Amino acid sequence: MRRDDELARAGWERRFIACEPRLSEMAAMYQEIGLDVHLEPLPAEEGEAEERGLSCADRECTACFDADRDRYRIIFTRPRADS
């Protein structure tokens, strides 16, 4: 099972990919509006990246990610369990 499928089954919705400072800003904004936030690292392997929709063929260029993958995270949100 793909990691994105596991997260979706747990109620997480993929939002977008970001690095600092936008990563922290958007995580805080999502939390402020009442959502749980999960930050997922980018896949390390090229094949895994393509499976997760991170390829130029899917209209999302990965040149920035390839330069320094550790800087970026995929932001996922879901409604808070207590809401």
Q: Which residue has the higher pLDDT, 1 or 17?
A: 17
Average pLDDT rounded to a whole number, residues 61-66:
75
Instruction: Please state the pTM of the whole predicted model.
Output: 0.78
pLDDT at 41 (0 to 100): 94
Q: 72 near 22, Cβ under 8 Å?
A: no
| Domain edges within the chain | 3-79
Residues 27, 25: Cα–Cα separation, whole Å: 6
pLDDT at 16 (0 to 100): 94
Residue type, 79: P
Q: 65 near 54, Cβ under 8 Å?
A: yes
Length of the chain: 83
Percent of the chain with pLDDT over 70: 78
Place of tokens 């990691």: 3
CA nearest to 73, candidates 33, 9, 30, 10: 30
